[in-house]
A and B are shown apart, each in its own frame.
Chain A
Amino acid sequence: MEGKMNHKTYHRSKTVTVFFLCVLVLLGLAGRLVYLMVFQSEYYTLKARELHERERSIKAARGRIIDANGKILADNKTVCTVSVIHSQISDAEEVIAVLSKELGLSEEYVRKRVEKYSSIEKIKSNVEKEVGDSIRARGLDGVKVDEDYKRYYPYDTLASKALGFTGGDNQGIIGLEVVYEEYLKGEAGTILTVTDAKGVEQDEEGEERVEPVSGRDLYISLDINIQSYATQLAMQTMETKEADRVSILVMNPQSGEILAMVDVPEFDLNNPYTLPNGMDASAFSEKKRQELLNAMWRNGCINDTYEPGSTFKIITAAAGLESGSVKPTDTFNCPGFIMVEDRKIRCHKVGGHGAEDFVQGTMNSCNPVFITVGLRIGVERYYSYFRQFGLLDKTGIDLPGEAGTIMHKMENIGPVELATISFGQSFQITPIQLATTAASIVNGGRRITPHFAVRAVSADGSDSQSFTYPVREHVVSDETSETMRYILEQVVAEGSGKNGAVEGYRVGGKTATSQTLPRGSGRYIASFLGFAPADNPQVLALAVIHNPKGTYYGGQIAAPVVRQLFENILPYLEEKIYTGK
């Protein structure tokens, strides 16, 4: 007993030692806890949140595209996405029956998705709102109907190539939709839901919403009335002339605002992946089908170049006048051809125009006159005017895929090339480039930038942003511009463009008929460029008819198109200007 008592003393102290060791270690661990739960808490809380939260995005309403009259050209339609959440379904059979019936899907298809074990399974998207509403109204467990936006174009084919369309995620694919994507798309919102490790939503945790920001509405200069009428005219012309394509461009030559851009055949913006009439998509390979679609979507006004022919004489005339190489009163003689070096270049009038001054030469669209003027200007000067007029650059129009000018290199231009360039052959430009350059020449020498977008306005209207476009002054002198307006008015009044004349209005213009390459194919491009009023141009139109059958002279088939257009839109525009709209 005594012995036990003896060593009990150190037992005790050692037990106490053990206890205090434990205290020390546990204090250390408590300190570690403080470190983790106070100082590291923010970090781990964030990490844990990231782990627990699932993000579902809410699409933003895409901005609308609105014409000059406030008509909506591109809008949003509410559609629904129907999905099922496997773990929440209580009556699978009913769900399958209802969904297959309402959505017009095979029972087998729906069953496969309903019975699949996944956190959420999409059954169908782009479901009409009414159908979605009626499914939601049934209140089936595990069926989720999410609303969504789909792009909708109220006028179907109208201005399809200019407006463009959007893809599955509502992103712009072509046209204005893609150029102004940043303004139109808005910012997607998110729904953050807390889920367990398998992705099952934890209802009691609620959800956190970040509301989407709607895209900005894009107000464009396009006028639906002018566009509709131009489209009608183009369609008519294409049918009656059995043409391949007809393009009509209408712009304000003072500002560069485009009022209409037609390139028939157009396509249905609400069904952009449906091939043109009579074509069966399944008959083509994937690659071929894509090629056909690309061809259908192609905007001839800006994506394709052509030999402008005589309308280009506007540029030659302006360069000649500006350089002083020619005066309106200069006289020429046309025997029906002209020799350039050893080459005989014919005039379109076989017998020749005989003696004529420069104004008459333009009215007659006489090739020898313009070849003479071109040669007088000389390669280097001609080329520098080319550059000065902006023909070597793109116009900078706010549409994607603008084609550049296909031009000889300066060092490759000999007298023969210069001669052909002078009357608009042996090089290619886009219709928009021709129209823009002509506008710049007749508007007093201001090289404008053709464009659609006027302003972008936030969805609530609180913030409006106007677009500005570069203008280059003094491309030609006021004097030259005035002379050009006079000469071109004469062309329409009494010359080759008289079919473009509109009673009661002063119209200026120029016709063109060019044979497409290869020569002798019998394929022509007939075109007419007109503007009015001739003394102070407010509207400029270019009509280009590709491969018409029968009569193919621009003066006979293209000029009437512009005339009809002007007959309708000039009073309309006058009224608009008068009423100040």
Chain B
Amino acid sequence: MAQRNASRRRQQKGESFMDYSLLFIVLFLVGFGMVMVFSSSSYEANLKLGDSTRYLRQQLFASILGLVAMMVVSNIPYHFWERFAVPAYIGSVVLILLIIPFGYSSGGATRWLYIGPISLQVAEVAKLGMILFLSSLICKMGKRIRSNKGFMLVLAMPVPIALMLWQITNNLSSAIIVMAIAVLMLFVSCPDYKRFFLMGIITIAGAAAVVFYVVQTAQAHVDDLDFRGARVLAWLDPEAYSSDTGFQTLQALYAIGSGGVLGKGLGQSMQKRGFLPEAQNDMIFSIICEELGLFGGIAVIIMFLMLIWRLMIIANNAPDLYGALLVVGVMGHIAVQVILNIAVVTNTIPNTGISLPFISYGGSSVMFLLIEIGMTLSVAKGIRLKDL
């Protein structure tokens, strides 16, 4: 209520509404992320590159760029982006296709494009693109979305992008996130629950079937499994695959488990000293847990919950459906990534590379997330007293 009163007062004075709670949470996460990127990368960076702040500087650069972009975008009325719906979709497709001739490989996967000195992970563009595209599409469809045809159309739109991300950039995680964003946006725009309930059951049954198939195949002949199959096996018993597929997961579990309730203290992680590969990336949450303990881990989860809560408030008070859908898309994007990342790190689901929003090292990710927050802030600015 205090929030609402505050915004009301500002509105009455003719000031534009700024959701400072959201801004604070995001700035905190970005700042905290930088501390953790430095903590988790400095030892190895010093050893391998002779430069302990290499990762920190790159992250700082991307974050500043992202914050500037965020401020710019937050001042652009969000309806400006409505006209970019189709270009965003096509742009995503083109960027992914450009990977084939121009892609840059790192760690065995080709996911980056170089634009001058800046590397760009196309999946991040595709996620934002999908939010923009679906928001417009769903608005245009209006009530037609309730029909099965409309429903299937919305559901079908992200499929090509997801398939391309999976097949061309070998990035199943991003494909899943794109699909998840789409499903969540669709869920919010349809009044019924039944179809989604059905989808949920099918997804769970499908996952169970895959696990069952992998286990069966493994018992017969392990060699027939690809690396994802092996990851499923490693998920079920990481210690049995500790030398290869289960290695990273097991190292993450060591980090988390050895953190205990209070952690070893900031900077005191042992696992980051060459044991946990790429500690500053997807596995950064395990280093947070090792250094800051259960309290640190839970605190981070609470920060993300607050972020999602703010996004929900903004979405539900957005002046129009387009704005609401934009924010729902951002909310879905962040929520899905947080959940999947923590689930992977704690070996709750099989290992797949998903970064922790705002905290994991990765310039493209933090930049595009900040742009999405910029859009959200822009939507928040449009909240009018009479809508509340």
Pair from one complex: yes
The answer to whether A33 touches B308, judged by C-beta atoms less than 8 angstroms apart, is no
Contacts of B255 in A (CB 8 A): 48
Cβ-based interface call for A407 (8 A): no
Cβ-based interface call for B380 (8 A): no
Cβ-based interface call for A517 (8 A): no
The answer to whether B297 touches A33, judged by C-beta atoms less than 8 angstroms apart, is yes
Cβ-based interface call for B150 (8 A): no
Report B279-296 residues with CB < 8 Å from chain A CB.
Answer: 289, 293-294
Given A25-B339, A32-B346, A19 and B191 contact (CB-CB distance below 8 Å):
no
Contacts of B259 in A (CB 8 A): 37, 41
The answer to whether B275 touches A196, judged by C-beta atoms less than 8 angstroms apart, is yes
Interface of B is mostly: helix
Given A15-B328, A52-B275, A26 and B346 contact (CB-CB distance below 8 Å):
no
Interface of A is mostly: helix
Complex CA–CA separation, A197 to B316 (angstroms) = 50
Give the residue name and chain of the B residue nearest to A10 (CB): B191
Complex CA–CA separation, A17 to B191 (angstroms) = 12
Give the residue name and chain of the A residue nearest to B257 (CB): A44
Cβ-based interface call for A387 (8 A): no
Contacts of B256 in A (CB 8 A): 33, 36-37, 44
The answer to whether A52 touches B312, judged by C-beta atoms less than 8 angstroms apart, is no
Give the residue name and chain of the A residue nearest to B187 (CB): A14
Contacts of A30 in B (CB 8 A): 297-298, 301
Give the residue name and chain of the B residue nearest to A35 (CB): B346
The answer to whether A11 touches B316, judged by C-beta atoms less than 8 angstroms apart, is yes
Segment of A1-9, A163-171, A326-334 in the binding face: A1-9
How far, in Å, is A114 (CB) from chain B's closest CB? 20
**Candidates A8, A16, A48; contact of B257 at CB < 8 Å:** A48
Cβ-based interface call for B124 (8 A): no
Given A4-B321, A33-B256, A196 and B189 contact (CB-CB distance below 8 Å):
no
How far, in Å, is A279 (CB) from chain B's closest CB? 51
Cβ-based interface call for B335 (8 A): yes
The answer to whether A19 touches B294, judged by C-beta atoms less than 8 angstroms apart, is no
Chain A interface size, as a band, is: 35 or more
The answer to whether B184 touches A48, judged by C-beta atoms less than 8 angstroms apart, is no
How far, in Å, is A13 (CB) from chain B's closest CB? 9
Complex CA–CA separation, A22 to B43 (angstroms) = 35
Cβ-based interface call for A23 (8 A): yes
Complex CA–CA separation, A38 to B293 (angstroms) = 10
Cβ-based interface call for A194 (8 A): yes
Q: Encode contact with A along B322-360: 1 for CB under 8 Å, 0 otherwise.
A: 001000100110010011001100101000000000000
Cβ-based interface call for A34 (8 A): yes
The answer to whether B312 touches A45, judged by C-beta atoms less than 8 angstroms apart, is no
Cβ-based interface call for B206 (8 A): no
Q: Encode contact with A along B8-51: 1 for CB under 8 Å, 0 otherwise.
A: 00000000000000000000000000000000000100010000
Cβ-based interface call for A343 (8 A): no
Segment of B90-98, B158-166, B266-274 in the binding face: B266-274
Cβ-based interface call for B77 (8 A): no
Given A29-B346, A41-B257, A194-B270, A8 and B324 contact (CB-CB distance below 8 Å):
yes
The answer to whether B304 touches A26, judged by C-beta atoms less than 8 angstroms apart, is yes
The answer to whether B321 touches A7, judged by C-beta atoms less than 8 angstroms apart, is yes
Given A33-B289, A47-B254, A202-B273, A196 and B339 contact (CB-CB distance below 8 Å):
no
Cβ-based interface call for B309 (8 A): yes
Contacts of A197 in B (CB 8 A): 273-275
Q: Encode contact with B along A77-102: 1 for CB under 8 Å, 0 otherwise.
A: 00000000000000000000000000
Q: Encode contact with B along A166-195: 1 for CB under 8 Å, 0 otherwise.
A: 000000000000000000000000000010
Contacts of A44 in B (CB 8 A): 253-254, 256-258
Cβ-based interface call for B261 (8 A): yes
**Most A CB atoms within 10 A — which of B43, B187, B255?**
B187
The answer to whether A29 touches B261, judged by C-beta atoms less than 8 angstroms apart, is no
Contacts of A23 in B (CB 8 A): 305
The answer to whether B338 touches A26, judged by C-beta atoms less than 8 angstroms apart, is yes
How far, in Å, is B296 (CB) from chain A's closest CB? 10
**Candidates A15, A26, A202; contact of B339 at CB < 8 Å:** A26
Complex CA–CA separation, A243 to B216 (angstroms) = 80
Cβ-based interface call for A12 (8 A): yes
Cβ-based interface call for B142 (8 A): yes
Contacts of B187 in A (CB 8 A): 14, 17-18
Q: Encode contact with A along B241-259: 1 for CB under 8 Å, 0 otherwise.
A: 0000000000001111111
**Candidates B273, B294, B321; contact of A38 at CB < 8 Å:** B294
Complex CA–CA separation, A29 to B298 (angstroms) = 9
The answer to whether A7 touches B270, judged by C-beta atoms less than 8 angstroms apart, is no
Cβ-based interface call for B82 (8 A): no
Complex CA–CA separation, A44 to B275 (angstroms) = 14
Contacts of A202 in B (CB 8 A): 270, 273
Report A474-503 residues with CB < 8 Å from chain B CB.
Answer: none
Q: Encode contact with B along A49-92: 1 for CB under 8 Å, 0 otherwise.
A: 10110000000000000000000000000000000000000000
The answer to whether B289 touches A29, judged by C-beta atoms less than 8 angstroms apart, is no
Cβ-based interface call for B278 (8 A): no
Q: Encode contact with A along B170-213: 1 for CB under 8 Å, 0 otherwise.
A: 00000000000000100111110000000000000000000000
Given A19-B309, A22-B335, A29-B343, A37 and B316 contact (CB-CB distance below 8 Å):
no
How far, in Å, is B387 (CB) from chain A's closest CB? 9
**Candidates A4, A15, A16, A36; contact of B253 at CB < 8 Å:** A36
Contacts of A52 in B (CB 8 A): 270, 275
Complex CA–CA separation, A48 to B242 (angstroms) = 13
Give the residue name and chain of the A residue nearest to B314 (CB): A15
Contacts of B321 in A (CB 8 A): 4, 7-8, 11
Contacts of A40 in B (CB 8 A): 257
Cβ-based interface call for B315 (8 A): yes
Cβ-based interface call for A198 (8 A): yes
Give the residue name and chain of the B residue nearest to A47 (CB): B254
Contacts of A29 in B (CB 8 A): 301, 339, 342-343, 346, 348
Complex CA–CA separation, A158 to B331 (angstroms) = 88
How far, in Å, is A344 (CB) from chain B's closest CB? 82
Give the residue name and chain of the B residue nearest to A28 (CB): B348
Complex CA–CA separation, A51 to B298 (angstroms) = 26
The answer to whether B293 touches A37, judged by C-beta atoms less than 8 angstroms apart, is yes
Cβ-based interface call for A109 (8 A): no
Complex CA–CA separation, A52 to B141 (angstroms) = 59
Report B105-136 residues with CB < 8 Å from chain A CB.
Answer: none
How far, in Å, is A249 (CB) from chain B's closest CB? 60
Complex CA–CA separation, A191 to B94 (angstroms) = 60
Contacts of A505 in B (CB 8 A): none
Complex CA–CA separation, A374 to B250 (angstroms) = 81
Contacts of A194 in B (CB 8 A): 270
**Most A CB atoms within 10 A — which of B43, B275, B332?**
B275
Given A29-B348, A37-B293, A196-B275, A15 and B315 contact (CB-CB distance below 8 Å):
yes
Give the residue name and chain of the A residue nearest to B317 (CB): A12
How far, in Å, is A173 (CB) from chain B's closest CB? 39
**Candidates A11, A17, A32, A33; contact of B189 at CB < 8 Å:** A11
Contacts of B301 in A (CB 8 A): 26, 29-30, 33
The answer to whether B308 touches A22, judged by C-beta atoms less than 8 angstroms apart, is yes
Cβ-based interface call for A43 (8 A): yes
The answer to whether A198 touches B274, judged by C-beta atoms less than 8 angstroms apart, is yes
Contacts of A32 in B (CB 8 A): 346, 348
Contacts of B315 in A (CB 8 A): 11, 15
Q: A33-B297, A37-B256, A37-B261 are in contact. List 5 more A-B contacts (CB 8 A).
A: A8-B324, A18-B188, A33-B298, A36-B256, A44-B254
19 contacts between A and B (CB under 8 A): A3-B142, A4-B320, A7-B321, A14-B190, A15-B312, A15-B315, A19-B331, A22-B335, A26-B301, A33-B289, A34-B294, A36-B346, A37-B260, A41-B260, A45-B258, A48-B257, A48-B271, A196-B270, A202-B273
Residues of B within 8 A of A (CB): 43, 47, 142-143, 184, 187-191, 253-261, 270-271, 273-275, 289, 293-294, 297-298, 301, 304-305, 308-309, 312, 315-316, 320-321, 324, 328, 331-332, 335, 338-339, 342-343, 346, 348
5 closest residue pairs by CB, A with B = A44-B257, A197-B274, A196-B273, A48-B258, A48-B254
